[in-house]
């Protein structure tokens, strides 16, 4: 676990407190960044394809027999009969891949999409390859786009008899604008529906109430109603869905967060929100350092003694205890006061984790403690 230098710790927590201690007005977020419109969503696409033109870095016939079967079926559809020589095929320049993309909401036929191509066999490198025509299917099994084109790979892999070198991830790449939409996805939003439903990305009763009140202040009382912690319905009196959504997206809404402390013991990272509060508690911090050193010595008997020369272990144990500092944290302190108090005891990130866990166990920490 990475431990920060204790001299830099106060600076780190001062910066953290400055970022988190903001006013309520600064915590306002646009509806566009806070909620989704029901009926407006993307759709995942997936397809199985073949990449050709590799420089001997494709799939092997023994470990990836499906690659041979795929290229054989493709060649036969093109009028080339290779069934008689299928046992001799070695697809070193071919790789079987999975092609994925995202079909945006309201995308129309003819528009282009970026696609991601990933090897599913034992190909070592897809650099320089070309994806052949690959239908991309939606969750309902119907094709919505067709992908084809040259791959863009961010890394490379070079291998020789004495060693190899790999940079990046050469078995996955992208094709910018590599797919063309052939069929529009269905959507559940009509231009004249009587109401719009907003879905909060992080359900919360207070935020839902604030969203309702903010919309009513901007568009008129009774326009919005919170149904549950994640859903707010807005009436569409003018039967103009696009105009109403455009107006809703720019409304600022005060948001509310739960009191949470995030602890990552692997990296020594601690993140606390400004809502964290504690009751009156006293914290003492002190370290005990134990050092054990081994110094082997040779024991040599006298010239006329009957003993033998041997090695004797000499151990030295030193115990050093730092002076403990006792700090009283008053009730309901703010984040900045909590950080300053913990800095006063000279706690490192690893010590802070133990202190926060102890305060939580004592029932004085009014926040959820999450360990990553």
201, 169: one domain: no
The answer to whether residues 48 and 109 belong to one domain is: yes
Closest residue by Cα to residue 131 from 178, 169, 170, 168: 178
Candidates 372, 330, 368, 329; CA nearest to 347 is 329
- Residue 60, helix vs strand vs coil: coil
d(CA 372, CA 354): 15
Is the pTM of the predicted complex or chain greater than 0.85? no
In a domain, 59, yes or no: yes
Same domain, 79 and 107: yes
Domain end call among 142, 165, 181: 181
| Angstrom distance (rounded) from CA 155 to CA 21 | 42
Token couple for 252: 């600022």
Nearest to 322 by CA among 351, 354, 293, 365: 351
pLDDT of residue 354: 75
Assigned domain for 19 exists: no
Boundaries of domain holding 298: 260-371
172 and 213 in a single domain? The answer is no
266 in any annotated domain: yes
pLDDT score recorded for residue 162: 54
161: Cα separation from own chain's centroid: 38
Instruction: Enumerate helices (H) and strands (E) in the chain, giving the number of each.
Output: 7, 25
Say if 131 falls within a structural domain.
yes
| β-pair partners for 336 | none
Answer whether residue 12 is part of any domain.
Answer: no
Q: 70 and 164 share a domain?
A: yes
Does residue 295 sit in the same domain as residue 276?
Answer: yes
Q: How far apart are CA 345 and CA 287, in angstroms?
A: 11
Does any domain span residue 291?
yes
Cβ atoms of 270 and 352 closer than 8 Å: yes
Task: Give residue-wise pLDDT tens across range 102-121.
Answer: 999 888 999 999 999 999 98
Query: What pLDDT, on a 0 to 100 scale, did the predictor assign at position 97?
Result: 94
Which residues make Cβ contacts (< 8 Å) with residue 19, sequence separation at least 6? none
2 within a domain of the structure (yes/no): no
Task: Please tell me the distance from the alpha carbon of residue 208 to that of residue 200, in angstroms, as a whole number.
Answer: 8
- What CATH number is attached to the domain comprising 195? 3.30.1360
Q: Based on the fold, state whether residues 177 and 116 are members of the same structural domain.
A: yes
User: In terms of domains, do 53 and 112 share one?
Assistant: yes
**Taking the CA of residue 92 as centre, how many other CA atoms within 13 Å lie in the half-sphere pointing to its CB?**
5
61, 89, 124, 168, 262 from 68: Cα distances, Å: 7, 7, 17, 28, 50
Are the beta carbons of 105 and 117 closer than 8 angstroms?
no
**Pairwise CA distance, residues 345 & 332, whole Å:** 19
Residues 6+ apart with CB under 8 A from 45: 100, 101, 102, 103, 113, 136, 137, 138, 144, 145, 179
133, 153, 181 - which closes a domain: 181
Helix, strand, or coil (residue 276): coil
Same domain, 123 and 58: yes
Among 181, 205, 238, identify where a domain stops.
181
Asked if residue 18 is part of any domain, the answer here is: no
Contact 210, 256 (CB under 8 A): yes
On whether both 131 and 59 belong to a single domain, the answer is yes
CA neighbor of 259 nearest in space, from 342, 338, 326, 329: 338
Provide the pLDDT for residue 16.
47
Question: Is the domain of 79 the same as that of 134?
Answer: yes
Q: Which two tokens stand for residue 88?
A: 């001799």
d(CA 70, CA 133): 13
Total of domains in the chain: 3
**pLDDT value for 72:** 82
Is 159 found in the same domain as 114? yes
Q: Which residue positions in the chain have pLDDT lower than 50? A: 1-26, 288-290, 319
Question: Which two structure tokens, joined as six digits, stand for 104?
Answer: 């945006």
Query: What pLDDT score does 114 carry?
Result: 94
């Amino acid at each position: 676990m990475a431990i920060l230098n204790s001299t830099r710790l106060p600076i780190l927590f001062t910066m953290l407190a400055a970022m988190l201690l903001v006013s309520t007005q600064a915590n306002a977020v646009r509806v566009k960044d806070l909620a989704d419109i029901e009926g407006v969503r993307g759709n995942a696409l997936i397809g199985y394809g073949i990449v050709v033109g590799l420089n001997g870095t494709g799939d092997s016939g023994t470990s990836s027999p499906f690659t041979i079967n795929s290229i054989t079926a493709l060649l036969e559809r093109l009028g080339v009969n290779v069934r008689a020589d299928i046992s001799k095929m070695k697809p070193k320049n071919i790789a079987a891949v999975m092609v994925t993309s995202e079909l945006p909401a309201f995308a129309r036929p003819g528009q282009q999409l970026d696609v991601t191509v990933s090897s599913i066999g034992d190909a070592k490198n897809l650099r320089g390859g070309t994806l052949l025509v690959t239908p991309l299917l939606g969750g309902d099994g119907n094709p919505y786009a067709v992908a084809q084109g040259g791959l863009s790979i961010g890394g490379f892999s070079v291998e020789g008899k004495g060693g190899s070198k790999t940079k990046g991830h050469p078995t996955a790449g992208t094709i910018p604008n590599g797919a063309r939409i052939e069929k529009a996805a269905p959507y559940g939003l009509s231009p004249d529906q009587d109401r719009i439903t907003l879905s909060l990305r992080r359900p919360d009763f207070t935020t839902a109430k604030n969203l309702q009140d903010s919309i009513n202040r901007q568009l008129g009382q009774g326009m919005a109603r919170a149904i549950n912690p994640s859903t707010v319905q807005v009436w569409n009196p003018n039967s103009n869905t696009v105009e109403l959504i455009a107006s809703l997206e720019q409304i600022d809404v005060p948001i509310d967060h739960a009191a949470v402390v995030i602890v990552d013991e692997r990296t020594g990272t601690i993140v606390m929100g400004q809502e964290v509060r504690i009751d009156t508690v006293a914290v003492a911090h002190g370290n005990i350092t134990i050092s054990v050193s081994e110094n082997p010595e040779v024991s040599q008997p006298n010239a006329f003694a009957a003993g033998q020369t041997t090695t004797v272990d000499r151990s030295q144990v030193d115990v050093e205890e730092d002076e403990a500092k006792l700090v009283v944290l008053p009730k309901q302190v703010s984040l900045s006061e909590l950080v300053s108090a913990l800095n006063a005891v000279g706690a490192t990130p690893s010590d802070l984790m133990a202190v926060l866990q102890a305060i939580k166990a004592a029932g004085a920490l009014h926040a959820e403690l999450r360990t990553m």
